[in-house]
Amino acid sequence: MSRDDVCVVIIDDNTAALELFSAALESGGLRIFTATNPAEGIEIVFRERPQIVLTDLVMSGMNGLEVLDRIVAFDPAIDVILITAHYTSESAVEAIRRGAADYLNKPVPISVLKDRIGCLSERVRHRQKAMTTDDSALAHNGFEGMVGRSSTMGELYSRLRRIAPHYRSVLLTGETGTGKELAARALHRLSPVRAGNFVVLNCSAVVETLFESELFGHTRGAFTGADRDKTGLFEHADKGTIFLDEIGDMPLGTQAKLLRVIQNQEVLRVGSLTPRKIDVRVIAATHRDLKAAIARKDFREDLYYRLSMVEIHTPALVERREDLSLLASFFIEKYARQFRKEVSALSQRARILLDHHNWPGNVRELENVIGHGCMMAQAETIDIQDLPEYVRFASSITRVALATAGGNPPEDSFDSHEKRLIADALERAGGNQSQAARALRIGRDALRYKMRKHGLEVPWQAHTGT
């Protein structure tokens, strides 16, 4: 058997279980090692550095979570599957929080075991192939509609994949335009309720007086204008998923009723006395700081902790700048096809300008900019004049750099101008980052990113302003 085959280590103090699992997997093109005690299993992991580890949860000497912790500390890229006869959603989520790839309930059907190991093996082979082939191909750098090959996005994909089979409620956090709805749809598609409805409510777009009717439904005559019974979104999402976008904009009164629905899995239509049982998974999203909202009494603390059993952050574009080129190519291909244009790339000047934009609107803003560029382009490349005016003239840093370098500067020319302009702005602002950011016409987060980028470890860095 080739050393390039996927390596699997199975740890279980039940000899019969070891034999059953290894026999079931031996025909799958895998190198399999087994151990009857956790210490021996960990030694094999350290020696063989497998891609997959299958371990029992309850064992003498060391339990499966301790084994998991040792393996994650050694190599977090190893996929660890825990097996237990005492499955709960809470324990599964806790295991995944600690780095488990999956969590299976005993007795494990052989078909399920083969399927899970097969899926993990395919991902391992895909990663190995991607490392030796042209990784600029878009097909190898996306996940459930999301595009990115940065380590930050790789961590997000892994987290979504691991949480999806088990979650009951999830909180997605991140700036506007970072793809929270795409992440929510990925969780739903990878979950056991993928065949059910995926229902979306944008909380910021609902009139406060209509919230309860929208979410929970109403009976005929419940209020003026209620001329018939109405099914609420939670009932419509029964056996599926409801996505509550911008949950931070939900009124406090509705928050209390939402908490009861999530806890009891039943809804009470407005005007009704009879609750209706439902089975719904809840994904909430916000760009707001909910802990600050809790301190202001604008958001219920008990609802926050109910929603955030699992909290997933979608990174801003400045946190994954290495994905910008890939995203631009993806959107050029999309909009060139949509507009039936021969556009295929960005000019060097346009690429430099986009590289130095601070992207306050994140990926959504980049998509709009590229879509505009494709529509306006008269050649096969998108040039500066094809981009929206606000992008061309928004950043004083970029304008100075372009003017100084004649429109086509080398990278270090940009960097030197950018560093000097930031340092000068900070000095003029007396170290106040908010004032410096306003003077440069960029966001404060972007300013901090650029300060870190240029190593501006100066006394005024601690003064952030208000």
pLDDT of 124: 76
Domains of the chain: total: 3
Same domain, 234 and 364: no
DSSP states of 412-447:
HHHHHHHHHHHHHHHHHTTT-HHHHHHHHTS-HHHH
pLDDT of 445: 65
Helices (H), 98-150: 110-132
* Angle subtended by helix axes 362-376 and 348-355, to nearest 10: 160
Mean pLDDT value across residues 74-78: 78
Mean pLDDT value across residues 416-434: 78
Contact 85, 73 (CB under 8 A): no
Residue 409 above 80 pLDDT? no
Same domain, 180 and 296: yes
Provide the CA 14 distance to its chain's centre, in angstroms.
38
Same domain, 324 and 416: yes
Confidence of residue 141 (pLDDT cuts 50, 70, 90): low
pLDDT of 134: 36
Mean pLDDT of the chain: 84
Same domain, 205 and 250: yes
For the segment 243-263, what is each residue's pLDDT rounded down to a tens digit?
A: 999 999 999 999 999 999 999
CATH number at residue 274: 3.40.50.300
Domain with 125, as residue range(s), is 6-132
Same domain, 213 and 301: yes
Residue 159 located in a structural domain: no
pLDDT of 290: 96
For the segment 344-384, what is each residue's pLDDT rounded down to a tens digit?
A: 888 877 887 898 888 999 999 999 999 999 999 988 889 88
Mean pLDDT value across residues 128-144: 55
Same domain, 304 and 175: yes
Exposure class string for 226-239: b at 16+ Cβ within 10 A, else e: eeeebebbbbebbe
Last residue of a domain, one of 132, 148, 175: 132
Residue 403 located in a structural domain: yes
Residue 324 above 50 pLDDT? yes
Residue 155 located in a structural domain: no
Same domain, 172 and 66: no
Residue 91 located in a structural domain: yes
Residue 273 above 50 pLDDT? yes
Residue 232 above 70 pLDDT? yes
Name the least confident of 12-21, 382-391, 397-406.
Answer: 397-406
pLDDT of 132: 44
Nearest to 51 by CA among 147, 118, 138: 118
CATH number at residue 322: 1.10.8.60
Helix (H, G, I), strand (E, B) or coil at 241: strand
Last residue of a domain, one of 267, 286, 313: 313
Best mean pLDDT range from 84-88, 118-122, 319-323: 319-323
Mean pLDDT value across residues 221-229: 84
Same domain, 35 and 14: yes
Confidence of residue 462 (pLDDT cuts 50, 70, 90): very low
Residue 139 located in a structural domain: no
Same domain, 245 and 279: yes
Last residue of a domain, one of 297, 313, 329: 313
Residue 86 located in a structural domain: yes
Same domain, 265 and 382: no
Residue 208 located in a structural domain: yes
For the segment 429-446, what is each residue's pLDDT rounded down to a tens digit?
A: 888 887 887 777 666 666
Mean pLDDT value across residues 296-305: 96
Name the least confident of 33-42, 227-236, 424-433.
Answer: 424-433
Same domain, 424 and 447: yes
Integer Cα distance of 92 and 168 in angstroms = 11
Integer Cα distance of 39 and 30 in angstroms = 22
Same domain, 367 and 434: yes
Question: Which of the 8 DSSP states describes residue 246?
Answer: T
Percentage of residues of the chain with pLDDT beyond 90: 46
Residue 336 located in a structural domain: yes
Residue 222 above 70 pLDDT? yes
pLDDT of 403: 43
Exposure class string for 133-158: b at 16+ Cβ within 10 A, else e: eeeeeeeebebbebbbbbebbeebbb
Structure-block tokens of residue 398: 């970029």
For the segment 171-184, what is each residue's pLDDT rounded down to a tens digit?
A: 999 999 999 999 99
